[in-house]
């Protein structure tokens, strides 16, 4: 087999492959065996007809075509391995010469990963937020706990914003009462504006036992968007009463004897979470700096695939949440054009990051062993809510083991960048890179801390190099196993 490689661009090549017919013997053997089982020739059992009779029965041209279809993928894979080409996606193949008992020639155009070296990744400097918790943050957490132990007591006065009321709602359109649009004994916090436009304004100033009618547009259901007259009746008015922040409260709400011990524990847990956030933030910012420092060409087809994957993932999430793209854009305060621009930009960054981590892994000869792959599967299975065996089976059946391997190796490449990075907080303190243990929840969840983002900085670009969709994005399929 003869192979010539022409570079069409830094991210695309054209292979010209020429093969003498004698090198296609294996492909013809497979073809004849397959056709022999399909045709019925008098005097021969199924699968036993000789090649010359099969040629005559189905036509020599059909036999050659079948053999070539079998041979081309194998020849192509052999060629890219021989030429050390990192191909992305499927090639565009064209047979240029096919002469019986002479030669097969074809071309294959395919996108490739750009060739480059990762330099300058040692000693990246990044700054992250301070881990020290402020007094305001501590009081916010203690206040959240205090809210949980609040009680509602009757208020002998008209409704005010922040009150908790028990109400009945009924609606009428053009004077006709809507039987399906009503609620009895609804508990509602005035001022949250979570039910109907105009309800809060109507309730304020009303007293227990009173009713009032206001005009509004209905939301949801058969009459969504219709103008209606809604009547609200107030059954009770209650105010939230908070416990005193004293030692008695600390003993009731936690395992601590004093309010100062409770505050100290909240501070400790907050700072543990914030240290985890520091590492995640440092990971993100180090990767961003590394990506910005390297200029490489990117194959547009891979960018387009990543954009399509992200768009499809978002649409699935919106569908599952019962939302529309229009409502999503409104919540994000984005136009369609801004959304598409952001989608393209994030996809481009992810693809580039994936290429860089892949190349760094190659340079440093990083790999993943079976125990590391098993740990990855266990962690992903826990996140997805399926058993490790289910996920492992799904990865094998969907041919995504290579994706799992890529994710593990990229994470190791990112860890290498972090090990050599200098991370300081805003106060100039060096951030230790050993991950602190995640804090356990206190007895009464005293530290209702901010949610710490998982340390998955390398997961975002995991699709970058034209790999199949990551297993984490295929949760439903895994759960169905």
Phi first, then psi: give them for residue 223, nearest 5 degrees: -105, 20
- Which one, of 312, 291, 309, 243, lies nearest residue 466 by Cα? 309
**Domain ranges, ordered by start, for the chain:** 2-112, 125-135+259-295+350-479, 151-241
- What is the sign of the dihedral through the CA atoms of 143, 146, 147 and 153? negative
CA distances from 278 to 137, 282, 423, 426, 429 (A): 16, 6, 9, 11, 12
- Beta strands, E only, 174-279: 176-189, 211-217, 227-241
The pLDDT score that the predictor gives to residue 42 is 65
- Which one, of 148, 151, 152, 243, lies nearest residue 441 by Cα? 148
- Which one, of 155, 171, 401, 137, lies nearest residue 270 by Cα? 137
Q: Domain 2-112 carries which CATH code?
A: 3.30.70.1050
Quickly name the fold that domain 151-241 has: Chitinase A; domain 3 (3.10.50)
Q: Dihedral (C-alpha) 355, 356, 357, 363: value to the nearest 10 degrees? A: 110
Chain position carrying tokens 């040692």: 122
DSSP states of 434-465 as a string? SPPPPPPP-TT----PPPPPPS-TTTGGGGTT
> Of how many residues is the chain composed?
481
- Which one, of 141, 362, 169, 160, lies nearest residue 268 by Cα? 141
What are the start-end ranges of the H helices in 59-117? 60-82
CB-based contact 346:392 (threshold 8 Å): no
What are the start-end ranges of the H helices in 321-335? 325-332
For the chain, the straight-line distance linking the first and the last C-alpha, in angstroms and rounded, comes to 43
CB-based contact 11:114 (threshold 8 Å): yes
d(CA 407, CA 411): 6
> pLDDT 10s digit of each residue in the chain, 481 long?
899 999 999 999 999 999 998 888 888 888 878 887 777 766 666 656 777 777 777 788 888 888 899 899 999 999 999 998 999 988 999 999 988 888 899 999 999 999 999 998 999 999 999 999 999 999 999 999 999 999 999 999 999 999 999 999 999 998 888 888 889 999 999 999 988 999 999 999 999 999 999 999 988 777 788 899 999 999 999 999 999 999 999 999 999 999 999 999 999 999 999 999 999 999 999 999 999 999 999 999 999 999 999 999 999 998 888 888 888 998 899 999 999 999 999 999 999 999 999 999 999 999 999 999 999 999 999 988 899 899 889 888 888 888 899 999 999 999 999 999 999 999 999 998 765 555 554 444 433 433 333 333 333 333 333 333 333 334 444 444 4
Beta-carbon contacts of residue 343 (< 8 Å; ≥ 6 apart): 307, 310, 311
DSSP-derived secondary structure letter, 24: G
Convert the pLDDT of each residue in 230-286 to its tens digit: 999 999 999 999 999 999 999 999 999 999 999 999 999 999 999 999 999 999 999
Strand 125-128 with 422-425, pairing: parallel
- Which one, of 450, 369, 437, lies nearest residue 409 by Cα? 369
* Burial class (CB within 10 angstroms; exposed 0-12, middle 13-18, buried 19+) of 114: middle
- Beta strands, E only, 84-226: 87-99, 103-112, 125-128, 151-154, 164-173, 176-189, 211-217
Chain position carrying tokens 């020739």: 41
How many angstroms from the chain centroid is the CA of residue 263?
36
The pLDDT score that the predictor gives to residue 398 is 86
């Amino acid at each position: 087999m003869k192979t010539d490689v022409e570079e069409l661009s830094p991210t695309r090549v054209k292979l010209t492959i020429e093969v003498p017919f004698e090198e296609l013997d294996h492909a013809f053997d497979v073809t004849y065996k397959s056709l022999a089982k399909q045709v019925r020739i008098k005097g021969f059992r199924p699968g036993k007809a000789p090649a010359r009779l099969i040629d005559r029965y189905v036509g020599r041209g059909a036999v050659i075509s079948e053999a070539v279809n079998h041979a081309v993928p194998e020849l192509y894979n052999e060629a890219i391995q021989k030429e050390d080409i990192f191909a992305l996606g499927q090639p565009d193949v064209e047979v240029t010469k096919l002469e019986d008992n002479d030669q097969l020639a074809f071309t294959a155009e395919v996108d490739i990963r750009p060739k480059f070296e990762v330099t300058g990744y040692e000693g990246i400097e990044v700054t992250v937020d301070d881990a020290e918790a402020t007094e305001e943050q501590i009081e916010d957490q203690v206040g959240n706990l205090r809210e949980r132990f609040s009680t509602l007591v009757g208020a002998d006065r008209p409704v005010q914003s922040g009150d908790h009321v028990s109400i009945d709602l009924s609606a009428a359109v053009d004077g006709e009462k809507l039987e399906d649009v009503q609620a009895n004994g609804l508990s509602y916090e005035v001022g949250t504006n979570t039910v109907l436009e105009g309800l809060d304004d109507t309730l304020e100033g009303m007293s227990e036992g009173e009713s009032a009618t206001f005009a509004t547009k209905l939301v949801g259901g058969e009459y969504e968007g219709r103008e209606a007259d809604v009547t609200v009746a107030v059954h009770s008015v209650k105010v939230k009463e908070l416990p005193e922040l004293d030692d008695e409260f600390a003993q009731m709400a936690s395992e601590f004897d004093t309010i100062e011990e409770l505050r100290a524990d909240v501070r400790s847990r907050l700072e543990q979470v914030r240290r985890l956030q520091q590492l995640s933030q440092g990971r993100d910012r180090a990767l961003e700096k590394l990506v910005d420092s390297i200029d490489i060409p990117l194959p547009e087809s891979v960018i387009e695939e990543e954009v399509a994957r992200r768009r499809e993932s978002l649409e699935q999430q919106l569908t599952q949440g019962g939302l529309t793209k229009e409502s999503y854009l409104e919540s994000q305060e984005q136009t369609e054009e801004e959304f598409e621009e952001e989608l393209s930009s994030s996809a481009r960054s992810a693809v580039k990051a994936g290429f860089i981590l892949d190349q760094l892994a190659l340079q440093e000869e990083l790999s993943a062993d079976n125990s590391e792959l098993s740990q990855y599967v266990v962690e992903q299975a826990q996140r997805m809510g399926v058993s490790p065996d289910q996920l492992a089976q799904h990865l094998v059946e969907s041919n995504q083991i290579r994706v799992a391997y890529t994710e593990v190796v990229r994470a190791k490449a990112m860890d290498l960048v972090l090990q050599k990075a200098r991370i300081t907080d805003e106060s100039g303190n060096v951030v230790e890179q050993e991950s602190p243990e995640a804090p356990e929840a206190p007895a009464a969840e005293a530290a209702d801390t901010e949610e710490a983002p998982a340390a998955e900085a390398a997961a975002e670009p995991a699709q970058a190099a034209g790999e199949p969709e990551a297993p984490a994005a295929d949760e439903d399929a895994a759960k169905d196993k």
